[in-house]
Structure 1
């Protein structure tokens, strides 16, 4: 009997520490939530993609440093960043890759032309998708877990047309789009509002989102003598287009949406942006609010450069997801989507509260000019 008792005590001495160790490991167990990212990290729009990614990464770094608990369990976040090249086919491949990797949340895509086809994959995979793509068709898809966390083309195009008519007092406008879903949608909405405001559309031209020589279309536009050229596209083309406008003697102002509302436009224009470029962009003016200034300072400290157009929205996207998870007490994509749809969140770039179609209920639009190569706010709508 003594031998049996001794054996039991020895086993108990081994099992007790093991049990305590197991309990300790259970208490420290963390759920890793992967947040997918889709934007162009290569090609002409890579500056914007990098800007978006770094805004998202900054938020995730802060969340993990602070510590987030969901339903009583500690959660850590991990970014799965993918390059969609601003190309629809590549964007669909990225969506499928993220779906196959069991990622449940994605912030992106950046481009409307990518968001529309990739959205189908994200929807079929049950993922929550938060995009800044501005083409109205995106939310018309009716996907229950898709949210637009930026402004749409209707608001951007209309604001720029109203400003051109009422503040700039111009009469004649030429329009150019880059044949992307974003560029075409933006020009369409600008033209519709411009006509309502009594402006004359004296020329309509198009290019591509990879073009570098705009001489033929600018020569055609020059003959129409417009007061302004509205461009539906991005800085990669907008900057060089302005430089070539100057060299060809086209005196018109260059107008556009958020795609050219960045220092990249000034850099690529060869310093011609000051007094020549006006653009419409959504959300809070970072330099006018404490939260915006704080974000811009943190971003610059982390990356040694100023944020461009949508870094703040991608930052907000991660914060919005984390907030919804905490409120839902779950990391289940369906429950998180329901919480986002019904609730609201105050972010750096504005208030995130959604309509039934999952567009933002309220998103102010500001018109910017350029001074010293930097966008400078002129008016807000």
Structure 2
């Protein structure tokens, strides 16, 4: 990938975002790149030159609620990619110069909102979607995208079912893709780490979401397969604020580790209450809990927590330092959480497929996605026949004053 370009301030970045007013239905264009009737609302692109066409890329993420910081981070990554491409000004499809626009929708991290948001993005005339953050939202939304011939590339949905059970487009193309490793890799990697570091008795707790439960099940089965004991297997919810009853039961089992399948806001509450109860077991979380926000929310109680991210850490990405600088310049007061580098590359994956197809027709983009292969910010971007990224890594961290890399599993 070419080097990152100068990034505009936040207000300018999000000034690209608009829902548009296209008629219902997927965007389509002929091979010459002329936009169809369903994409004629170009207001999202602002002023267009005479030789430009407006092409919209969607983003679905939680921008309200307890994990809004993660959703905004995902959308910011899309905004940075779009700014870079537009600044370079050399994207030509079917003989027409293309100006990209971001159409962002808030799914609130709610599975029921997934299909609703997906339909809004379809109606807005997007040619592809980067999203969603949560597996539990990505999975129901994926059917809407597939039925309308759109590619969906998630930067952060790790539940294996997202790609394994997704529908295909009307013309038979794979619709659901991801640029992160799956929980079939993440769960066993965390279990192996616990087993290698004194984990003989492990309690497993989840937030009852598709993401949390699926990941916790992977951890529990891997712990058992590794010869250790799962001494407690419980569930809370992603809205739980008082864990003390279940923690009291877990404490009596004297586990070495407590695994939490859930997000950073609830993980912070959980570890604080563990320490209030005098529990000495280490808390282990996965990518949903492995953020700077967790460190901020958990305070001293969070020190020593083990967590993972489904990808390489930003510090070890070849252009990670430049990305971080550009991000903080574009979005003052905000820090990279986890997956903005991944949503950045997911955006480039859609654009690369557009270039390979030489078309802005969503079905043509979907048909070209299996051929996508480029060196991205996060590493090599290429997909297997299910839509999963090839060669995804798992990074394991220990929480100190910041997230410090403990191990990388490739």
Q: Following TM superposition, by how much is the alpha carbon of 1:288 offset from its aligned partner in structure 2, in angstroms?
A: 2.0
Which structure is higher in helix share?
1
Work out which of the residue numbers 57, 66, 73 in structure 1 matches 2:79.
57
Work out which of the residue numbers 83, 86, 104 in structure 1 matches 2:106.
83
Work out which of the residue numbers 180, 183, 188 in structure 2 matches 1:150.
180
Greater relative contact order (Cα 8 A, min sep 6): structure 1 or 2? 2
**1:154-205, Cα deviation, whole Å (9 max, x unpaired):** 1110110011112x12211101100000001100111111111112100111
Corresponding residue SS for 2:360:
coil
**1:120-145, Cα deviation, whole Å (9 max, x unpaired):** 11111111111121111111124312
Work out which of the residue numbers 275, 281, 289 in structure 1 matches 2:309.
281
Corresponding residue SS for 1:133:
coil
Q: Is the contact between residue 284 and residue 348 of structure 1 (CA under 8 Å) also seen in structure 2? A: no
The alignment status of 1:296 with 2:324, answered yes or no, reads: yes
Q: Is the contact between residue 148 and residue 359 of structure 1 (CA under 8 Å) also seen in structure 2? A: yes
**1:267-286, Cα deviation, whole Å (9 max, x unpaired):** 111332222x1112122221
Q: Is the contact between residue 60 and residue 105 of structure 2 (CA under 8 Å) also seen in structure 1? A: yes
Separation in 2, partners of 1:119, 1:288: 31
Q: Following TM superposition, by how much is the alpha carbon of 1:30 offset from its aligned partner in structure 2, in angstroms?
A: 1.2
| 1:111-260 alignment runs, 5 A limit | 111-131=134-154, 132-142=156-166, 143=168, 144-166=174-196, 168-260=197-289
Q: Is the contact between residue 150 and residue 360 of structure 1 (CA under 8 Å) also seen in structure 2? A: yes
Root-mean-square deviation (CA, aligned residues, Å) is 1.6
Separation in 1, partners of 2:131, 2:49: 34
Q: Determine the structure 1 residue equivalent to 2:51.
A: 29
Q: Report the TM-score, using the length of structure 1 for normalisation.
A: 0.90
Q: Is the contact between residue 139 and residue 359 of structure 1 (CA under 8 Å) also seen in structure 2? A: yes
Q: Determine the structure 2 residue equivalent to 1:100.
A: 123
Q: Determine the structure 2 residue equivalent to 1:263.
A: 292
Separation in 2, partners of 1:104, 1:325: 9
Separation in 2, partners of 1:174, 1:341: 40
Corresponding residue SS for 1:126:
coil
Corresponding residue SS for 2:319:
helix
The alignment status of 1:365 with 2:388, answered yes or no, reads: no
Separation in 2, partners of 1:85, 1:343: 30
Q: Following TM superposition, by how much is the alpha carbon of 1:27 offset from its aligned partner in structure 2, in angstroms?
A: 8.1
Corresponding residue SS for 1:88:
coil
The alignment status of 1:38 with 2:67, answered yes or no, reads: no
The alignment status of 1:332 with 2:332, answered yes or no, reads: no
Q: Determine the structure 1 residue equivalent to 2:28.
A: none
Q: Determine the structure 1 residue equivalent to 2:40.
A: none
Separation in 1, partners of 2:301, 2:292: 12
Separation in 1, partners of 2:287, 2:195: 19
Q: Report the TM-score, using the length of structure 2 for normalisation.
A: 0.83
Q: Determine the structure 2 residue equivalent to 1:378.
A: 406
Q: Following TM superposition, by how much is the alpha carbon of 1:119 offset from its aligned partner in structure 2, in angstroms?
A: 0.8
**1:293-321, Cα deviation, whole Å (9 max, x unpaired):** 22122112222332111111111111222
Separation in 1, partners of 2:398, 2:377: 22
Corresponding residue SS for 1:290:
coil
Separation in 2, partners of 1:154, 1:243: 29
